[in-house]
Structure formats: C-alpha cells, structure tokens
C-alpha cells in the first residue's frame, strides 16, 4: 500500500509545483516585479493588478509550504522571455491579454484539480486558486468594459 501512495504524492507535489509556476510566472506578476513604467490614468487597473498579485503570492506561499512539509523544494518561477518586450505600458491595452491568460489559467487549474482529487490539501488549495482567479477575472472584465466596451472572447484553448 505505501508503494501505491508514492506515485499519488509525487503527482500532487508536481501539481503544486505547476501551480507555483503558473501563478508566479504570470504577466501580472511580471508587471508587478519589473517596475515597468506605465502611463498615468490607469490607477484602477494598477490596484486590481496589485490585488491579483497579492492573492497569487499568498497562494504560492501556501503551495510552497505544503511542498516543504513534504520535503520537496518549491520551484522558482521564471518569466517568459516575451515579457521583456513590454515597456512604457498602456495598461488598458493589456487588459485583453491579461483576461485571456486568466481564462486559460482557470482551465489549467481545473485540470490540476482533477489530478489532485486524492490529496485534500492540494485540491483545496487549487479550488481556492480557481475561485480567486475567477473573482479577479470578473474585476478585470468590468475594468475592460468601462475602458473600451465588451472584451472579445478568448481564443479556444487546446
């Protein structure tokens, strides 16, 4: 029996590591960490980004703590090189990109939730991550509607 538990534990540890990578290497995290200058007038977007990144960092910390309790070293997320092309930001123009990424993030988290059903702690953390992402998505959708009308639907995720 213990031999059968190891692959499940390894799988949920992998899911927790992937959650850390997913949240920690996101565009909002990059914008927050990089100190990129942005045009004035987007204070509501800046505040929404700060709230999102704060919640994601809390989730990352919780996932890291779970991994450390399981004697697994948490990963250190790295940003995609494409993010380095962003400078002098008009945050309004990034709203569709942020929303599309958040929609994809929900799908990935739901897939991870399916993989973690045997681990109540990991599954609960992923459920919290999904809920937080959905709540922040609603806020960004509202900001985008106020800025430029409806946000186009996200491309199909494959």
- Which residues does residue 38 pair with via DSSP β-bridges, in sequence order? 89
Full set of structural domains in the chain with CATH: 2-148 (1.20.1260.10)
pLDDT of 141 higher than 70: yes
4-49 tens-digit pLDDT: 445 556 667 899 999 999 999 999 999 888 877 777 778 899 899 9
**Residue linked to tokens 């959905």:** 134
Give me the pLDDT at residue 61, please: 98
56-77 tens-digit pLDDT: 999 999 999 999 999 999 999 9
Q: Tokens in use for 19?
A: 């959650």
Question: With b meaning 16 or more CB within 10 Å and e meaning fewer, what string describes 126-148?
Answer: beebbebbeebbebbbebbeeee
74-106 tens-digit pLDDT: 999 999 998 888 766 678 888 888 999 999 999
Question: How many angstroms separate the CA atoms of 40 and 129, rounded?
Answer: 30
Question: How many angstroms separate the CA atoms of 50 and 45, rounded?
Answer: 9
Give me the pLDDT at residue 26, please: 94
pLDDT of 3 higher than 50: no
Residues 128, 97, 142, 148: what is their CA dihedral angle, to the nearest 10 degrees?
Answer: 180
Question: How many angstroms separate the CA atoms of 102 and 96, rounded?
Answer: 10
């Amino acid at each position: 029996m213990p031999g059968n538990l190891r692959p499940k534990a390894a799988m949920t540890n992998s899911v927790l590591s992937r959650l850390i990578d997913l949240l920690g290497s996101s565009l909002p995290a990059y914008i927050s960490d990089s100190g990129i200058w942005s045009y004035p007038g987007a204070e509501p977007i800046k505040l929404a980004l700060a709230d999102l990144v704060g919640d994601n960092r809390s989730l990352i910390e919780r996932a890291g703590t779970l991994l450390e309790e399981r004697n697994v070293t948490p990963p250190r997320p790295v940003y995609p090189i494409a993010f380095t092309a962003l400078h002098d930001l008009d945050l309004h123009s990034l709203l569709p990109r942020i929303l599309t990424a958040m929609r994809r993030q929900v799908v990935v988290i739901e897939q991870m939730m399916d993989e973690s059903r045997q681990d109540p702690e990991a599954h609960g953390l992923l459920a919290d991550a999904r809920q937080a992402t959905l709540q922040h998505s609603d806020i960004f959708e509202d900001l985008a509607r106020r800025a430029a009308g409806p946000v186009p639907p996200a491309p199909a995720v494959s």
